[in-house]
Amino acid sequence: MESGLGILQQLLFVMCTWFGRFASSKMKAYVQNQNKYKIYAPEGLFDISDELRYLHWDCFPLKYLPNFSPENLVELILRQSKLEKLWTEVQLLDLEKLKQIDLSYSEHLTGIPNLSGAINLEIINLQGCKNLVQIHLNLQNLRKLQILDVSYCYNLEKCGASESQEVPSSVPVGRSIHMNEFQNHPKLRFLDLKECDNLEECRDFENIAANNTAFIEKETSSSVSLILNFSNCKRLRSIPESIGKLKSLNQLDISKCPNLEKFPEIRDVMECLYKIDLRGTGIEELPESIENIKMLKHLSSKDCKRLKSLPQSIGTLKHLKKLIVHDCPNLQGKFPEIRDVMECLYAIDLRGTGIEELPESIENIKMLKHISLKDCKRLRSLPQSIGTLKHLKKLIVHDCPNLQGNFPEIGDVMECLYAIDLRGTGIEELPESIENIKMLKHLSLKDCKRLKSLPQSIWKLKRLEKLIVPDCPNLQGKFPEIRDVMECLYEIDLGGTGIEELPESIKNIENLEWLSLKDCKRLRSLPQSIGTLKYLKKLIVHDCPNLQGKFPEIRDVMECLYEIDLRGTVIEELPESIENIKMLKHLSLKDCKRLRSLPQSIGPLKHLEKLIVHDCPNLQGKFPEIRDVMECLYEIDLRGTGIEELPESIENIKMLKHLSLKDCKRLRSLPQSIGTLKHLKKLIVHDCPNLQGKFPEIRDVMECLYEIDLGGTGIEELPESIENIKMLKHLSLHDCKRLKSLPQSIRKLKYLNTLTVPDCPNLQGKFPEIWDVMECLYEIDLGGTGIEELPESIENLTGLTTLNLGSCPQIKFLPNSLCKLSRLGILNLKECSSLQELPRLPLGLTTLDINYCERLKSIQQLPSSLLVFEATGCASMKTISSCESAHTHNRPYFGLFRPMFWRFENCLDLDHNTCNHIIADTVYNGFYGACPFVDIVYPGDEIPKWFENASTSDGNSINFQLPLNWFKLENCQVPFVVCIVGVLNNFDDDKRRRIVSLKYNINFKTYTSDGRLHKYIDDGHAESFLQANTRKADHVFIMHNGDMRLDGRKVLGQLIQPHLCFNRRNVDTLQASFSICLMEGAGVDLDIKKCGIHFYDYGGPNVDSTSGECSDQASGYQNTYIYDRSVTSSD
């Protein structure tokens, strides 16, 4: 670890050596990431010592190096600098001592000058210089250069030949690298051009001076390894054939070059090249001359979508170890013959190719260990000689649907093959000789739809560990006998097969841990010997409808089995000996329609965690006694069973958290001891109509129970001791027809969130007083109860957002304190037939439903936030005496783009002043522009005055005029609203909401002074939601949706688009028409008597809402460009 003193000494040395006299002036340095220094010179760098040898400054801040002589410079490391240029040409004369240049990730660097004078240069690192365009290198002078890294130089177009070299006129010099400079270079061992996206070609020049060539040959006495990396050069089109002359080339990476279509001929022997990476190129073919790459070990052409064939000479590559050709869909036909022995090749990957056949000569690949043919859709067969591959370890052939018939015979012993994957093939049968694969561990036949049988010799596979055979429906009959002990097999998956029976000899699979028979529709029984499988952990037998009778006896202790899944079977009974499954944690008997009882011995299962028995209608009587403490069981699900009673000993299930008795039609009572379950969280008992009387007393505090659902039970009363359920959040008593009262102590449930008590007609009288503040209760549903009164103390429900009192016929008045519920947003008073008066409403109310409150005559004041106001069928409603400047104080609501529904169907006594308020408050201050949907209905026979374009007589269409320059800007958006007066003639009065769909059409046209016509048509649909018969009384419908807006650019574009050129013309006003009608198949008969349209000012022109005319500002344009083309009047 470097000490602080050492760092300080280095820092002082750097400062004094680099900057000479300047080091004594104002300097500031700090250490970043322990060894990374940044030096700040507030007065600039004016003088650097000529003795400078090492300059290492990450994030160098200047565009150019300061003026100094670099004759002694050895290392120049300026990573992530802001340099744009290094030196002038004069300064290049004295770089003889320079060994390393590292300007990596200097993103502003655009070029590197000629470095011919740096004859001792060993490393050039320009990685990530993304604005670097060209590099001038005369490698004949840079004889010691070992590493040249220009990877991630995305804009590099030229690398190699200097400007002083002569270039043949026939060869373009842009976007290229000149390989002749690297040919036989004595020291160069790494050239990285990765992701040089602008590089298109690699070229060489054969006319290098004879003396330079002689010099190169003289210097190549020692062998140096060379690595070339062109990966991700997206524009690279070719590699020169002379690459074969790079005798020292070790590795060639041209992966991910999609425009590289041809691999060069290799005319000379290359004895050093051992790795070629062609992944993701556009290469279509490899030359037969690839055999000259004598030492090639790794060849990858993965994802070469255009590759059509492999060379026949590939079999002569004696040193080839890995051949990776996967995801080449156009590589089809037969794999090349292997005529000579290949002793090094150990891996062949042909995944995703179109290979149809492997040759019998594959036996000559003596050391082959891994062969993958996954997803070879055209593969028809495997060679018989595959059984002679003594060293083969893995054979992967899954998802080859055309591979059919029998698997090849295994004539000789194969001691290395441990995995065979035949998933998704058409294999029909495995040979008995599979026993010769002595070391086979994993055999997968999943989804082999044609597989008819397993070989009887399978028991001889002593090393077999996993047998995976699910989803093979034609595999029927009896599983093979296991005649001898199999000590290694631990997993068998037969799910979805046609297996009918397992043999008793399954006990010989002594170490079996996982057995799945899921969805074996023909399985009739389980072997009695299953109880002897000491190490069995999971037994999955669900959805086996023919598995009947009694579960096998468990005669010996099973200490490993922790899960049994018998869902969907027709098991009738579990044995009492189930207690011997000591570690059982999960027992599922869901949907076992014939299950009649649970064993009394279920109580001793100390480690049981989940007991799932729902939808077992024949499971009747009393739940078993729990005589001993069960500390692990946390969930019991008895939904849909015929259980009649739970024992008081349920208190022994100390950690029970979830108890569900939903839909237990015969359940008569809950045990009194339920109040002692300290860890209980959820109690679900709804739809148990025979559960009557009083809910059990809660004598002790229960701090975990947060949800009780008693909906649909016959419960008559909740105890006052419910206050002991301190953390209760959700209490549901929905449809408790016998419920007579709520406990007064409900106010003490501080954490209660929802109280749901609808459809309890016998719940009468006054709602309990709320003496204390309840901040958490946000929803109360008392709809359909007999509640007569809410207390004034309801103001203490400070968090209440939703209050439902719909269909409460006894309620006449609401408390005056209702207005203090500042968070109340939804108030439902639908069908409160006795309600006569509403108090002042909360200012934040957004939804008010008073549909069919037939005695309600007036409303004092509507809050400005109201968006949904349902008042259909309020036959006595006459006035709304005050509307708070609707929507002027409530802009945040419209920012939410929420729809608006105000409906007053059949409120025939509604006075004219109230109607005016409704309309005025709705349209005020840009409301339609903010709401995505508006639907307003009220009784009346006149279109509102602010609809400046309206019919004055009967009809569903109107004609009107607008100034031509009505659109102030071409791209303005002009929302509009439509209105009709009409009557429904056939509408069933069943209070069901129906959609009334209409379609409209807007037609704009104008004429030039010489009579030429220009047109634009817009159409769409409008909707209204009605739920009352209007009794043949006229109603006004005002509608808007998000599509009702005209695009000024589109309108003007359509007016001029059909013509060929622009001309200034004096034009007439813009003529328009509007029509609306009922859509076909609407299901109702709507007689439209009047209609109107209002274009709303929302970023467009200022339309006068009384006259319908544009202001002077709106019609400021004096001229319009139109096309000069005649249009006949028929248009």
pLDDT digits (tens, 9 = 90+) for 60-76: 888 887 777 778 888 88
Q: What confidence category does residue 1008 fall into, taking pLDDT thresholds of 50, 70 and 90?
A: low
Taking alpha carbons only, the member of 547, 493, 497 closest to residue 515 is 493
Tell me the average pLDDT across 370-379. 96
Cite the beta strand spans of 466-547 per DSSP E. Answer: 466-468, 476-478, 491-493, 498-501, 514-516, 538-540
Between 335 and 881, the more confident residue is: 335
The arithmetic mean of pLDDT across residues 624-653, rounded, is 96
486 vs 506: CA distance, rounded Å: 10
- The partner residues of 125 in beta bridges, in order of sequence, read 102, 149
Q: Specify the pLDDT at position 236.
A: 83
How many angstroms separate the CA atoms of 204 and 241, rounded?
Answer: 9
pLDDT at 352 exceeding the cut of 90:
yes
Return the top range by mean pLDDT from 196-205, 628-637, 853-862, 864-873. Answer: 628-637
Say which DSSP state 531 is in: G
The pLDDT of residue 762 is 96
pLDDT greater than 80 at residue 358: yes
Separation CA 637–CA 634 (nearest Å): 10
Q: What is the pLDDT of residue 1030?
A: 58
Using alpha carbons, list the distances in angstroms from residue 893 to 341, 636, 845, 864, 990: 81, 46, 11, 10, 33
pLDDT digits (tens, 9 = 90+) for 899-950: 888 889 888 888 887 887 766 556 554 455 567 788 889 998 888 888 888 8
Average pLDDT of the residues in 171-180: 41
At residue 25, the pLDDT reads: 32
Average pLDDT over residues 368-386: 95
- State the chain's mean pLDDT as an integer: 82
Separation CA 715–CA 691 (nearest Å): 6
Using an 8 Å Cβ cutoff, are 410 and 433 in contact? Answer: yes
Stronger pLDDT, 1115 or 761, i.e. the higher one: 761
How far does CA 621 lie from the centroid of its chain? 48
By CB atoms closer than 10 A (0-12, 13-18, 19+), residue 543 is buried
pLDDT tens readout for residues 144-159: 888 888 877 877 766 6
Q: Which of 191-195, 557-561, 994-998 has the lowest mean pLDDT?
A: 191-195
Tens of pLDDT, residue by residue over 665-691, are 999 999 999 999 999 999 999 999 999
Range with top average pLDDT, 138-142, 596-600, 1120-1124: 596-600
Which of 109-118, 319-328, 697-706 has the weakest average pLDDT?
A: 109-118
Q: Residue 795, SS3? A: helix
Q: Tell me which residue has tokens 């794999």.
A: 335
Q: How many CB atoms lie within 10 A of CB 636?
A: 21
Cβ-based neighbours of 907, under 8 Å, separated by 6 or more = 871, 872, 873, 874, 875, 877, 938, 939
User: Residue 23 has what pLDDT?
Assistant: 36
CB atoms within 10 A of CB 985: 12
User: Does 92 have pLDDT greater than 80?
Assistant: no
Cβ distance 974 to 1079 under 8 Å?
no
* C-alpha separations of 658 from 130, 634, 647, 725, 728 in Å: 61, 6, 17, 15, 14
Give 539-578 pLDDT, tens digit per residue. Answer: 999 999 999 889 999 999 999 999 999 999 999 999 999 9
* Average pLDDT, integer, range 347-370: 96
Length reported for the chain: 1131
pLDDT of 772 strictly over 60: yes
Q: Which pLDDT does position 170 carry in this prediction?
A: 32
Mean pLDDT value of segment 958-965: 74
User: Rounded to whole angstroms, how far apart are CA atoms 393 and 440?
Assistant: 9
* 776, amino acid identity: C
DSSP 623-634: PPP--S-BSS--
Helix, strand, or coil (residue 895):
helix
Is residue 891 scored above 80 in pLDDT? no
Q: What angle do CA 703, 706, 710 make, to 5 degrees?
A: 125
Q: Examine the pLDDT at 3 and tell me if it is beyond 50.
A: no
Q: List pLDDT tens digits, range 439-487.
A: 999 999 999 999 999 999 999 999 999 999 999 999 999 999 999 999 9
- Asked if pLDDT for residue 1032 goes beyond 90, the answer is no
Fill in the DSSP letter of residue 770: -
1066 pLDDT above the threshold of 50: no
Both tokens assigned to 154: 């995305």
Identify the pLDDT of residue 1052.
65
Looking at per-residue confidence, does 951 or 330 come out higher? 330
The pLDDT of residue 652 is above 70: yes
- Measured between alpha carbons, how far is 256 from 446 in angstroms, rounded to an integer? 35
pLDDT band at 50 (very low <50, low <70, confident <90, very high): confident
Express each pLDDT in 232-257 by its tens digit.
888 888 888 888 888 888 889 999 88
Cα separation of 961 and 947, whole Å?
14
Q: Which of 94-98, 208-212, 773-777, 899-903 has the lowest mean pLDDT?
A: 208-212
Q: Quick check: helix, strand or coil at residue 89?
A: helix
pLDDT at 176 (0 to 100)? 43
Query: Among 435, 427, 554, 540, which residue's Cα sits nearest to residue 492?
Result: 540
pLDDT value at residue 224: 55
Helix (H), strand (E) at residue 787: strand 786-789
- Which residues, 6 or more positions from 324, have their beta carbon under 8 angstroms from its beta carbon? 298, 299, 300, 301, 302, 347, 349
Model confidence band, residue 651 (pLDDT cutoffs 50, 70, 90) = very high
Contact assessment for residue 986 and residue 1085, using Cβ atoms and an 8 Å cutoff: yes
Q: What pLDDT does 919 receive?
A: 66
Measured CA to CA, the distance from residue 1090 to residue 1101 in angstroms comes to 26
Token look-up 């051009």 returns 193
Report long-range pairs for 645-649 (Cβ below 8 Å, ≥24 apart): 645/621, 645/669, 645/671, 646/622, 646/670, 646/671, 646/674, 647/622, 647/623, 647/671, 648/672, 648/673, 649/625, 649/673
Q: Choose between 446 and 988: higher pLDDT.
A: 446
**Rounded distance between C-alpha atoms, residue 133 and residue 196, angstroms:** 10
Q: Are 285 and 304 in contact (CB under 8 A)?
A: no
CB count within 10 Å of CB 696 equals 17
Q: What is the pLDDT of residue 249?
A: 86
Q: Can you tell me the mean pLDDT for 335-352?
A: 95
Portion of the chain with pLDDT greater than 90, in percent: 53
Q: What burial class does residue 429 get, using C-beta atoms within 10 Å of its C-beta: 0-12 exposed, 13-18 middle, 19+ buried?
A: middle
Answer yes or no: are the C-beta atoms of 325 and 302 closer than 8 Å: yes
So what's the pLDDT on residue 1068? Answer: 53
Q: Which of 100-109, 262-271, 777-786, 930-939 has the lowest mean pLDDT?
A: 930-939
Q: What is the pLDDT at residue 922?
A: 60
Is 1111 strand, coil or helix?
Answer: coil
Query: What token pair was written down for 895?
Result: 């920012």
Q: pLDDT tens across 509-545, in order?
A: 999 999 999 999 999 999 999 999 999 999 999 999 9
